[in-house]
């Protein structure tokens, strides 16, 4: 720079858009301009750092699916972190958080982008909205879309083979009788521990699960609403890890070991987390 020359300072260029009150007769439609910001983290885990909620995924707010998505992230990760802290987490349990929740975020970004497309102007989109409206008059389609928007259509892979229809899905809130007390499955899940619900009125499942009694609660009950399974092994996040059907009980010990670690010694009397093991009948 030549001596005596003042430096040139560049300032960011600012553009102001003039806004005014409409002068034509109403009613007027208020519109907001925004970009469809959709992003998903490549990985939900990096070493000891985990991403959940808006830190893991960003999507259009249309339909408000982010609440369910973020809550299920937290529920999925929370019990797995607790298992690691208390020392009974099986190998790969923390990595299953990304495996299970990343596809759920992909489904949310898919249907929120689809909703934005249906809100776009133009005769072609208007015709498409009419087609979608007619499809929604079909109960089966309505149920499928409802499950999609709520995030309840997610199914996790729990084990190899041909699982029960409920395995991997969010557990139905069964109406139950435990002894003389009427309750629901959601109430039994309040302690936030793995739960084996036995509807068989027998002792075989109790014997099979006894080695996991320090971390898995056993409840023997009677269903007062129809159930397609005679027993359910439910993870703390509410998803069914195993269900008893016509194939018998062969898969129960495998499911217990897969999600809740190695069996404990017979003399183990304290439940993981410092609480006594719970058995209700």
| Per-residue model confidence as pLDDT tens digits over 42-82 | 999 999 999 999 899 988 887 778 888 999 999 999 999 99
**CA distances (Å), 29 to each of 19, 22, 34, 119, in order?**
15, 10, 16, 14
Task: Give, as one character, the DSSP assignment of residue 280.
Answer: E
pLDDT at 124 over 80: yes
Q: Would you state the structure tokens that stand for residue 144, as one six-digit string?
A: 């499928």
Threshold 0.75, pTM exceeds: yes
Question: Considering the chain, what is the average pLDDT of its residues?
Answer: 84
Contact 238, 195 (CB under 8 A): no
Task: Choose between 97 and 30: higher pLDDT.
Answer: 97
| pLDDT for res 2 | 55
């Amino acid at each position: 720079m030549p001596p005596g020359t003042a430096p040139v300072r560049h300032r960011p260029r600012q553009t102001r858009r003039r806004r005014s009150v409409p002068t034509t007769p109403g009613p007027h439609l208020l519109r907001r301009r925004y970009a469809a910001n959709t992003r998903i983290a490549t990985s939900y885990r990096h070493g000891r750092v985990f991403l959940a909620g808006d830190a893991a995924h960003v999507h259009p707010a249309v339909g408000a699916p982010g609440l369910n998505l973020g809550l299920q992230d937290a529920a999925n990760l929370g019990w797995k972190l607790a298992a690691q802290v208390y020392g009974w987490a099986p190998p790969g349990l923390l990595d299953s958080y990304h495996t299970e929740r990343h596809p759920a975020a992909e489904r949310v970004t898919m249907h929120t982008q689809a909703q934005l497309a249906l809100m776009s102007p133009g005769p072609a989109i208007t015709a498409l909205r009419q087609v979608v409206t007619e499809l929604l008059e079909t109960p089966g389609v309505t149920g499928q879309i409802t499950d999609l928007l709520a995030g309840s259509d997610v199914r996790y892979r729990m084990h190899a083979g041909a699982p029960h229809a409920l395995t991997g899905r969010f557990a139905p809130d069964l109406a139950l009788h435990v002894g003389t007390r009427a309750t629901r499955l959601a109430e039994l899940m309040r302690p936030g521990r793995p739960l084996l619900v036995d509807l068989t009125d027998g002792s075989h499942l109790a014997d099979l699960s006894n080695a996991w009694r320090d971390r898995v609660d056993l409840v023997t009950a009677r269903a007062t609403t129809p159930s397609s399974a005679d027993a359910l092994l439910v993870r703390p996040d509410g998803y069914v890890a195993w269900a008893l059907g016509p194939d018998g009980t062969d898969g129960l010990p495998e499911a217990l070991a897969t999600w809740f670690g190695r069996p404990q010694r017979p003399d183990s009397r304290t439940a993981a987390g410092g609480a006594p093991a719970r058995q209700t009948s």
